[in-house]
């Protein structure tokens, strides 16, 4: 089994990838939803970090991401455990010791102060941003002034759980908008198309979560909102 299919099944078992009737922040009615806030155990965090690390290593191996990445940045709040868990997995499973850091929502005015926690970014650092899912790209856009204020860094790219493959604020996908605006690539562990292909009519623990009816709903949603 590929790590991508393992990841899809892991999300379903963790209650992170769910199917039904939902409304996104943008007001779109969607038949599926990804909520990484539902991860809650140490075992889940360990496996999640492993999947992120495997995605990073795969893209380094393909020459898409530099092997000289010095830090993972996790935007508050959901990106924080992703950066920490991924850095642990990179060290323990791949022998790659990478720093991690994240931001506070509000600046601290006592102690060491500032908005950043963890590794202190330095000029010349190569940073990967870890996020869950990009819908409109708002959280990612907020990252760049934070990172640039910390040091003169190069953002190597963005690692996310799922590419929903749908339009952002205009006619491009949110991922394409981020690339056009900031010149960085996004590397999803899986896409919604890979999710459909992997588990349509395939039972997970004896239950089929994407049957013909659910697939039809997902295809209709993609037809309406997906960028071809």
Active site residue 200: no
Annotated catalytic residue within 108, 148, 185, 217: 108
Active site residue 180: no
Beta bridge partners of 33: 18
Task: Tell me what pLDDT residue 105 has.
Answer: 75
Annotated catalytic residue within 25, 105, 110, 207: 110
The residue with tokens 């870890």 is: 130
Q: List C-alpha distances in Å: 109 to 104, 113, 114.
A: 12, 5, 7
Task: Tell me what pLDDT residue 123 has.
Answer: 97
- Structure-derived torsion over alpha carbons of residues 119, 46, 58, 141, reported in degrees to the nearest 10: -50
Task: Tell me what pLDDT residue 168 has.
Answer: 78
Q: List C-alpha distances in Å: 108 to 66, 103, 111, 115, 117.
A: 33, 10, 8, 6, 10
The pair of three-digit structure tokens given for residue 187, joined into one six-digit string: 């590397």
Task: Tell me what pLDDT residue 221 has.
Answer: 93
Q: Which fold has domain 3-225?
A: Rossmann fold (3.40.50)
HSE-CB at 55 with a 13 A cutoff on CA atoms is: 29
| Residue 194: closest CA among 44, 45, 7 | 7
Quote the pTM value.
Answer: 0.93
Task: Tell me what pLDDT residue 1 has.
Answer: 67
pLDDT by 10s per residue, the chain, length 228: 699 999 999 999 999 999 999 988 778 899 999 998 899 999 999 999 999 999 999 999 999 999 999 999 999 888 999 999 999 999 999 999 999 999 987 765 544 546 899 999 999 999 999 999 886 677 788 888 999 899 999 999 999 999 998 887 788 888 999 999 889 999 999 999 999 999 999 999 999 999 999 999 999 999 998 876
Task: Tell me what pLDDT residue 115 has.
Answer: 83
């Amino acid at each position: 089994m590929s790590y991508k299919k393992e990841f899809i099944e892991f999300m379903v078992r963790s209650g992170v990838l769910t199917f039904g009737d939902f409304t996104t922040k943008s007001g779109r009615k969607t038949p599926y939803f990804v909520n990484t806030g539902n991860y809650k155990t140490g075992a889940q965090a360990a496996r999640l970090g492993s999947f992120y690390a495997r995605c990073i290593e795969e893209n380094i191996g393909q020459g898409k991401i530099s092997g000289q990445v010095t830090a993972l940045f996790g935007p508050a709040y959901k990106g924080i455990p992703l950066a920490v868990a991924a850095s642990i997995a990179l060290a323990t499973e791949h022998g790659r010791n990478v720093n991690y850091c994240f931001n506070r929502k509000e600046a601290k005015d006592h102690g060491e102060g500032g908005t950043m926690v963890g590794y202190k970014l330095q000029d010349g650092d190569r940073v990967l941003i870890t996020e869950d899912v990009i819908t409109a790209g708002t959280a990612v856009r907020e990252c760049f002034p934070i990172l640039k204020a910390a040091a003169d860094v190069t953002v190597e790219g963005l690692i996310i759980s799922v590419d929903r493959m749908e339009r952002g604020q205009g006619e491009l996908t949110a991922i394409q908008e981020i690339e056009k605006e900031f010149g960085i690539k996004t590397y999803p562990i899986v896409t919604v198309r890979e999710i459909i292909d992997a588990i349509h009519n395939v039972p997970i623990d004896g239950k089929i979560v994407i049957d013909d009816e659910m697939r039809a709903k997902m295809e209709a949603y993609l037809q309406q909102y997906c960028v071809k």
